[in-house]
Structure 1
């Protein structure tokens, strides 16, 4: 008697699941029937600051997930997973439907840390979800048209994302012919890149009109924000680049999570407490090999995730994924240059940005072709 296929729900359309989707025929051949629950469009985070700066148009970073699923023959529920009944193996979707599963793979990204409850206030933009950054771009451009000068922008967060967003906003303002008025607020001295690379990047930002301050944004009011030490800054737009954490849906599973709320998984990408649940990308972290949320890990984990999802049907032993200890990061500095670094090596200039564009465009264009889109650009 032929065994009933394993019903696999792919929750989210992150880097790893987009790769798995394209191999859906292999899953079906192994006795695994994939189903996708995710919004119909994917926005690639690697291009988000290029779009924010005005260098790229929004459609350049988008992939039609619905078309990709249709081409792969995968049933697609255009909704997000909002909860799970693990005892009955059922998922709650944002459109009110319930979805049964035998196995579940989570690739649902992350959300912005908001320790002071600022994200829902007026004129505050967390860096996640990415759609909010498009709204921020429109708001800044509207201010420039009406006022003829830069809005007062405050970016809270001294990590690479904070630097990149501050540089992108400076680039957006520069493209209008105005002098940027941007404050970048760092809680401590940045150490995420080689010291000389950081020094050169800071010098560049200061020349362009960005001021870097030590402190922490703790409150937001009309036309200003307040730092923990009592200082106030003029502020027309506050951007939260204060770090990332796992989405609430991960915490609600009742499974072990890291301090940042990311699903704790084994090297096989399975929950350490429930082998029927897999995780990849920002929403998960290997307990014995923690790495920060970065797209490179979702991309590199995808082949291992596919093999281990295939093992649900063919019974093979699952593979182990060992994330790399160093990786290439490239920041788009919004002025036609980039900062590339890996370990102690770094490069600042147009070549770094050209490399970033080649990598990012190649990744997105492969997905767009797989979805059946005819590329015009």
Structure 2
């Protein structure tokens, strides 16, 4: 009996998890390794921080789904892969999980190494659960008095976090947090000029201070050093981009320049053909992909088909990244910025559309 092992229950594995019984029915054993019983939908994470959503609104019950369909769920961090012995090692135990076919949707993380010293009030957007803890910390400190919050970064995650912190304070009423966004000179620099303009306008209207004069040089003991100026912060959110899971760089498999699992057009490891991957943790050899959820969602069907085909020793399908994708940023207070092709606008309609799409997506897989 062949063993199919999945590391992570993220976006790229959603369809495979929803059809787990099709593997079981053919006599394959399926094991899913994930550090939490739930997988959180990252696209709704900032909204959870801002109070638009509760945790149950944005998560999938991975353990319940896997066990309900006849699979085995292991709550643990996959720490290393031995591709020669075909074993996955776990951080929390001596258990070794053997596989015939392995698929990795191990996700990514936000580096915190820019922050020195005590990390008690330092929060990142990944894992998403951190945003729930951040929300409680902000509310606790606001109840005690004035709070200064720093968001480090100038990309989509940073602006969404800043905007939703403002929403959280506004919904609470009373004293509002002081929010500074440390972007350096590259504020939303990878996005079109009109998107930059609209995002900036919305953030400034909320009273969020955008620090663009130089990059952050040092963060220690609640002090943020930029050029010759120091800023105090009670709570810090590093949002300086994401990196693929570290598991691949220590496992003897081919990796890309970012440390992600290097895969070919079949989403198959370029060094070990019985290992597959999707989402943020991969480096797509043909065309490096942005770290956005839309690609993981597009990989869903192909991963399912190729995992089944690989188990059955049948031909594999090629992945196409597709064309342009819709981008909508949740900037809090029911406002967003939408962009696709030549269409770009901001306001409540933009957020309402994002909210509808996100709720529809998550409901589809929550109800399976």
Q: What TM-score range do you get, normalising by the shorter chain?
A: over 0.9
Q: TM-score by structure 2 length?
A: 0.93
**Would you say the 8 A contact 1:30–1:313 is kept in 2?**
no
CA RMSD of superposed structures (Å): 1.8
What is residue 374 of structure 1 aligned with on the other side?
none
Match for residue 360 of structure 1 among 358, 361, 366: 358
Say yes or no: does 1:42 pair with 2:25: no
**Superposed displacement of residue 342, structure 1:** 2.0
CA-to-aligned-CA distance 1:109-146 (integer Å, 9 cap, x gap) = 00113453549623211221112111111111111111
What is residue 213 of structure 1 aligned with on the other side?
211
- Aligned residues, how many? 363
Equivalents in 2 of 1:180, 1:40: separation in Å?
33
What is residue 81 of structure 1 aligned with on the other side?
78
Gapped regions of structure 1 (runs ≥ 5): 371-377
**Superposed displacement of residue 196, structure 1:** 2.0
Equivalents in 1 of 2:249, 2:215: separation in Å?
26
**Superposed displacement of residue 318, structure 1:** 0.5
**Would you say the 8 A contact 1:31–1:314 is kept in 2?**
no
Equivalents in 2 of 1:278, 1:51: separation in Å?
31
Equivalents in 2 of 1:251, 1:354: separation in Å?
40
**Superposed displacement of residue 284, structure 1:** 0.5
- Secondary structure of the equivalent of 1:248? coil
**Would you say the 8 A contact 2:115–2:220 is kept in 1?**
no
Match for residue 130 of structure 2 among 129, 132, 139: 132
**Superposed displacement of residue 219, structure 1:** 2.4
Say yes or no: does 1:298 pair with 2:296: yes
**Would you say the 8 A contact 1:32–1:310 is kept in 2?**
no
CA-to-aligned-CA distance 1:221-264 (integer Å, 9 cap, x gap) = 3342212x232112111101000111111211222222221111
What is residue 233 of structure 2 aligned with on the other side?
235
**Would you say the 8 A contact 1:52–1:168 is kept in 2?**
yes
What is residue 150 of structure 2 aligned with on the other side?
154
Match for residue 62 of structure 1 among 52, 59, 64: 59
Equivalents in 2 of 1:197, 1:110: separation in Å?
25
- Secondary structure of the equivalent of 1:55? coil
Say yes or no: does 1:21 pair with 2:17: yes
**Would you say the 8 A contact 1:12–1:36 is kept in 2?**
yes
Match for residue 332 of structure 1 among 324, 330, 342: 330
Shift in alpha-carbon separation, 1:258–1:118, aligned structure 2, 3 A:
farther
CA-to-aligned-CA distance 1:249-303 (integer Å, 9 cap, x gap) = 1211222222221111001000111111101000002111111111111111010
Q: TM-score by structure 1 length?
A: 0.91
What is residue 251 of structure 1 aligned with on the other side?
249
Equivalents in 2 of 1:174, 1:317: separation in Å?
55
Q: How does 1:341-356 map to 2 (within 5 A)?
A: 341-356=339-354
**Superposed displacement of residue 202, structure 1:** 0.7
Equivalents in 1 of 2:81, 2:15: separation in Å?
24
- Secondary structure of the equivalent of 2:88? strand
Q: How does 1:109-128 map to 2 (within 5 A)?
A: 109-114=107-112, 116-118=114-116, 121-128=119-126
Gapped regions of structure 2 (runs ≥ 5): none
Of stretches 86-95 and 184-193 in structure 1, the one that deviates more from structure 2 is: 184-193
What is residue 2 of structure 2 aligned with on the other side?
6
Equivalents in 1 of 2:13, 2:117: separation in Å?
28
Shift in alpha-carbon separation, 1:360–1:285, aligned structure 2, 3 A:
same
Equivalents in 1 of 2:48, 2:39: separation in Å?
14
